[in-house]
Amino acid sequence: MNCRGVSRRLSAFIDNDISPGIRQAMDEHLETCIGCKRRLAEFEAVIEAAHVMKPLALSEGFSQRVAEAIRARQESRQVTGIVRYRFSLAGVAFVAAAASIFFLVGPQSNENLTPVFTGTEDRPVSDNPTVTDFYEHPETKVSSFPIPEGAEAARFTESDSLPVNDSLSRIDEFLLPSVQEVRENVNVKF
Amino acid sequence: MKKEKITDKELMELIQSGDERAFTELVARYQDRLLNFVGRIVTDQETAEELIQETFLRIFNQKHSYTPEFAVSTWIYTIALNLARSELRKRKLRRFLSLDFLKEESDIEIADKTNFTGESLAPILHKAIDALPEDYKTAFVLCDIQRLPYQQIAEILRVPVGTVKSRINRARAMLRDKLKPYKEIYYELSRGIPQAISLY
């Protein structure tokens, strides 16, 4: 074995981590080579120096600090757990309250319908308005726009539960008297 | 509890079942070893103690994640090493941001080379180990200071055994080169003078 082969294996030689055959070859080389022998001694000295380094010592009370840190961490986890639990409870309560309010005050049913219009003198709102009344009343009728020339007006029969869509008549019914007067004036002018 | 009879794995089983005394025993068994491991990696005692404290906290909180396929010591060293590496990464970033990396470090001089004592080698060796690349330093500390077998070092570092041997060999060679100016010390030590080298 040459010097290069020995140098590469010095660490394993010291740790006794080589095969018997290689160990023998290295022993034979080291008997005659001063350079490799010196390198081996340097390696051994480094390892020995590391072995005899004075061990570091913990500061006083280290074990107690570890125990306190664990207790503190456990307590903070408990607090976090309680806070999360309370937040989740609050969340559930909020959702339940919102749902209750929604169902109590929510969309108006026909039975509890509060008229949002007061009607006119000649067309008062009945106490129990129906769908037809809603569409027929001048304040709540769907506004009709003039039907384009050539297009047929939509006609709905009573069986469809929709009012007849006669735009001209519906405009007159829809407009308030004061506006009708304006319309007449417009017609007069034009 | 009969300390001399209970193994680390039996201790972990007790800890997993909620035995706090068993955990106290585990802390007592490993705190010094971990200090001499983490302390050599981060080279600062106060930081090392904080990291070891965090190591034990994590062991306690994650006790159920330990599986018997690995030795308890391997698991503990792995946690400690991960924390030490995180600390070194933070330091590198802080050092980079503060431009400290531009400062050159000076070598420690031995005041009196003619009147050598084993104690004067300590700061040089300490500094030389600290100057090693992180991978080589970790392998060297685990092998030559912690005296762990190659196989266990490989499990802790999660590299093949061959890589461990290679890193140890390179680390020793680099330390030898670093300490060459003090070679008369080698001959003193290699003649077996058993002086304990004090670091502080």
What ipTM score was computed for the predicted complex, to two decimals?
0.75
A70: chain B residues, CB-CB within 8 Å: 56-57, 60
Residue A139 CA to residue A175 CA, distance in Å, equals 9
Give the residue from B89, B94, B106 showing the smallest Cα distance to B42.
B89
Instruction: Answer whether residue A13 shows pLDDT above 70.
Output: yes
Q: What is the mean pLDDT of residues B45-68?
A: 93
Amino acid at B183: K
**Is residue B23 very low, low, confident or very high in pLDDT (cuts 50, 70, 90)?**
very high
Ranges A119-128, B74-83, B181-190, most confident: B74-83
Give the residue from B133, B44, B132, B134 showing the smallest Cα distance to B81.
B134
Give the residue from A6, A12, A15, A2 showing the smallest Cα distance to A39.
A6
Those residues of chain A whose CB sits closer than 8 Å to some CB in chain B are: 8, 10-12, 15, 17, 39, 41-59, 62-63, 65-67, 69-70, 73
Q: What is the mean pLDDT of residues A38-46?
A: 87
B199: chain A residues, CB-CB within 8 Å: 53-54, 56
Distance of residue B151 Cα from the nearest chain A Cα, in angstroms: 12
Residue A53 backbone dihedrals phi, psi, to 5 degrees: -60, 135
Using one digit for the tens of pLDDT, what is the confidence trace for B111-165?
444 444 445 567 788 889 999 999 999 999 999 999 999 999 999 999 999 999 9
Instruction: Match 């007006």 to its residue by tokens.
Output: A153
Instruction: Answer whether residue A61 shows pLDDT above 80.
Output: yes
Q: What is the CA radius of gyration of chain A?
A: 50
pTM of the model: 0.63
Q: What pLDDT is stored for residue A143 in this prediction?
A: 55
Rounded alpha-carbon distances, angstroms, from residue B149 to A13, A62, B2 = 15, 28, 27
Residue B162 CA to residue B105 CA, distance in Å, equals 33
**Is residue A49 very low, low, confident or very high in pLDDT (cuts 50, 70, 90)?**
confident
Residue B61 CA to residue A74 CA, distance in Å, equals 9
A48: chain B residues, CB-CB within 8 Å: 189-190
Q: Is the dihedral of CA B72, B74, B77, B82 positive or negative?
A: negative
CB neighbourhood size of B37 (10 A): 26
Q: What is the mean pLDDT of residues A146-172?
A: 51
What percentage of chain B's residues is helix, strand, coil (to nearest 5)? 70, 0, 25
Contact: B140, A50; criterion CB under 8 Å: yes
Which residues, other chains included, contact B174 with Cβ-Cβ below 8 Å and sequence gap of 6+? B128, B132, B136
Give the residue from B156, B186, B40, B107 showing the smallest Cα distance to A48.
B186
Q: Which pair of tokens denotes residue B161?
A: 């055994």
Rounded alpha-carbon distances, angstroms, from residue A183 to A137, A138, A141, A146, A187 = 20, 17, 19, 14, 6
**Is residue B93 very low, low, confident or very high in pLDDT (cuts 50, 70, 90)?**
confident
Residue A137 CA to residue A170 CA, distance in Å, equals 10
Q: Which pair of tokens denotes residue B159?
A: 């590299």
**Is residue A162 very low, low, confident or very high in pLDDT (cuts 50, 70, 90)?**
very low
Write down the mean pLDDT value for chain A: 72
